[in-house]
Structure 1
Amino acid sequence: MNRGVPVVARAEWQENTVNNIDVGRPTAELMLQFPNIDFSTMDPVFPAKEGLYEFSMEALTERGLAARKWLKTRKEKVIAVVGHDGFMRVGICQKKFGNADFRIFEFAGGDSLELIEWEETEKRGGGLGTCPKGSFGWLPNDFKYMPKNLVMANDISG
């Protein structure tokens, strides 16, 4: 049911890995299945896991920057983003998300793309209170599906 709330599909919010279950379907197919969603700004590269969508630290960092820039340009005062924990954590906010959980953020101000979490969701560990508290970057488990040559280039263990 459309209640005048725009729903916009963006490739930036897709999952990190190159597993078959984490690669999206072609946009033309999604448009048929979800006619009420605006796919007009969907990157034509989607669902390919290349360039900005490659499974590497560099690409995920750049994708996070691109996603935050896009959010900051929106005119809406409240935006709900649906995405995946891995990308949200490493590309967007350094926080962990459980299934169907939420967190509330604001931009730090000025030209900054830094997101500051609201105290009410930060102190609970997410809106449902099911997520670990604190800040998290890349975790060793993130590399479980990464090709071995990229794991070595992106080794987080120092």
Structure 2
Amino acid sequence: MEEYNVGDPSVNVDLKVSEIESQKKLESPGIDPHMHSMQDNFEMILRKMCLCKSFGDLQILVSSIEEKVKELYGQSYFNTDVSVISHRLTVDRLAHEQDYDNLTILAAVGTLPVSVQGDGNCLPRSGRILAFGDEDHHTEIRCRIVIEMVTNIDRYLSVDHLQKRK
């Protein structure tokens, strides 16, 4: 491992170039509903999120996009109009037979467990089904999960809040 003298001007130039490149990567993605589809915008946001090298970088990015996302796409909510029949979903029989009615809050609102593609995106895919009735554009839900957790970090890391869950 090479050692560098902090007073060496070449080191400072390299650091400044690195900082500028890092800032360019973190600039707010060009979220534009007229130029890109909603799915394209969320894929662009997710790519920017993946470029973040630290939580601080992620906070900067989220603060630059959060309001624009809300303004353009609103909030995602549980959609009570989504049904297994109308949206051509497949009931997950194994999950349904596993005492589902006593294990989940979703049973209380009359939903059934459905099968989703098992590609590592099952949580965002499930969220997408609850909000929109399809699992195809799970990238939006993945981005919204990150935005929610970064924006409300104090809540998610609060000892008092975490102890309430026990």
**Global fold match (TM > 0.5):** no
TM normalised by structure 1 equals 0.23
TM normalised by structure 2 equals 0.22
Q: Which has the larger radius of gyration?
A: 2
Higher helix share: 2
